[in-house]
Amino acid sequence: MRPNTRSCFLESPTNPTLDVLDISAIAEIAHQGGARLIVDNVFATPIWQSPLQLGADVVVYSATKHIDGQGRSLGGAVLGSQKYVADHLALFLRHTGPALSPFNAWLLVKGLETLAIRVRAQTETAASIADVLAQHPKISRLVYPGRADHPQAALVKKQMRAGSTLIGFEVKGGKAAAFRLLNALKLARISNNLGDSKSLVTHPATTTHQRLTPEARSELGISEGFIRFSTGLEHRDDLIEDLQAALERV
């Protein structure tokens, strides 16, 4: 915190390494410094985490992810108090003009109707996949917020109601091995999106975080062999079989 700090921003769990941050503690620090805390809650979704109840002032979502749930439209959501919306957000919207098309808005509202059902099913499948991958000899590291071996497992239990639809894991053999796995998958599709009804897989070092230096990626725990897996609504046994078959190619 600095004397001129006015806002603090965090995402929890983080993209793509699924670190979990103590929202209540950070909110207290921000408020003591006279700042507002903004939380990106995309990876936890509103089903598993409620940042406003934990002390956050503003919560943001990429509605393109779980809220849409089928990769059909771009959109976003900003949640805050009525005063914050009136004093800041409404003026910004009025003067700059960002607005969803009626059709995209309709798609996102329809997505909200099934959000809880989809997220619960995807989370259950993600937990099963994580348990299998954690035991695989070609996986050197697995990160999933719902497991007891997560680095912040106690914090996960404190502020989240369940894990996530996302899994992070590191394949032995670096980039070449990770690419062989990605190319061998039959069900999961290579895409930078997440929260879709279809399982999606991403290599962060060459996509979402490719603009960072190797040193910066290493500091964040994003190795050349690290993969982010977004669990869809396919049957868990089919996804496990797909991943196991792909790992045989590594």
CA separation for the pair 216, 96 (Å, rounded): 34
Phi then psi for 7, rounded to 5 degrees?
-140, 145
CA separation for the pair 174, 138 (Å, rounded): 11
Q: Which tokens hold the place of 34?
A: 């006279």
pLDDT of 59: 98
Which residue(s) pair with 38 in the sheet?
A: 9, 58
On average, the pLDDT of the chain sits at: 96
Please say whether the beta carbons of 119 and 66 come within 8 A. Answer: yes
Q: Encode pLDDT of 235-250 as tens digits.
A: 999 999 999 999 999 9
Please say whether the beta carbons of 229 and 201 come within 8 A. Answer: yes
Q: Determine the average pLDDT of the residues in 196-202.
A: 97
Kindly report the CATH number that applies to the domain delimited by 115-248. Answer: 3.90.1150.10
Q: Encode pLDDT of 75-117 as tens digits.
A: 999 999 999 999 999 989 889 988 889 999 999 999 999 999 9
- CA-nearest of 85, 82, 103, 105 to 94 is 85
CA separation for the pair 31, 57 (Å, rounded): 10
pLDDT of 97: 86
Whether 7-96 shares its CATH topology with 115-248 is answered no
Is 26's pLDDT higher than 90?
yes
CA distances from 180 to 64, 172, 186 (A): 28, 11, 12
What is Dmax (Cα atoms) for the chain? 56
Give the SS3 label for residue 200. strand
pLDDT of 98: 85
Give the SS3 label for residue 221. coil
Instruction: Look up the CATH architecture of domain 7-96.
Output: 3-Layer(aba) Sandwich (3.40)
pLDDT of 99: 86
Give the SS3 label for residue 87. helix
Q: Determine the average pLDDT of the residues in 164-179.
A: 98
Domain-wise residue ranges, the chain: 7-96, 115-248
Phi then psi for 201, rounded to 5 degrees?
-130, 140
**What is the 8-class DSSP label of residue 14?**
P
- CA-nearest of 70, 72, 23 to 48 is 23
Element (H, E) at 11: strand 7-11
Vertex 9 angle, CA 53 and 222, to 5°: 110
pLDDT band at 188 (very low <50, low <70, confident <90, very high): very high
